[in-house]
Amino acid sequence: MGLAARAGRVAIGTDQVRSLVSSGRVHLVLVASDLTANGRQRIVPLLEHNGLEYMERNTRAELGEAVGRGPTGAIGLTDRGLAHRIRQVEKSSGR
């Protein structure tokens, strides 16, 4: 995921994710499991309204670490292949 972040293939943080959701460039969103209620209210209804798949599996610290940043509430995957691969991994792990 860190390489994808450096290549500009992910949106990091709820504000960036919200912006790219509106433009239709996001294929999958990872939402932090410990995101505040206010943070969830800002992003989850938008994702559901746009019919976007999202997963809540990791903490803010874990998501941030995955992209080489500090804690972050959401990561939007703009790379279709990476989004597909993450779905496969989740499916094979039984989640």
Alpha-carbon distance of 68 to 55, in angstroms, equals 20
Whether pLDDT at 6 is above 70 = no
pLDDT band at 3 (very low <50, low <70, confident <90, very high): low
Segment 56-71 shows an average pLDDT of: 93
pLDDT band at 19 (very low <50, low <70, confident <90, very high): very high
Q: Kindly report the CATH class assigned to 2-92.
A: alpha beta
> In the chain, where do the E strands start and end?
10-12, 28-31, 54-55, 74-77
Alpha-carbon distance of 16 to 49, in angstroms, equals 17
pLDDT at 23: 86
Q: Where are the domains of the chain?
A: 2-92
pLDDT of 28-61, one tens digit each? Answer: 999 999 999 999 999 999 999 999 999 998 999 9
Statement: the pTM of the whole predicted model exceeds 0.75:
yes
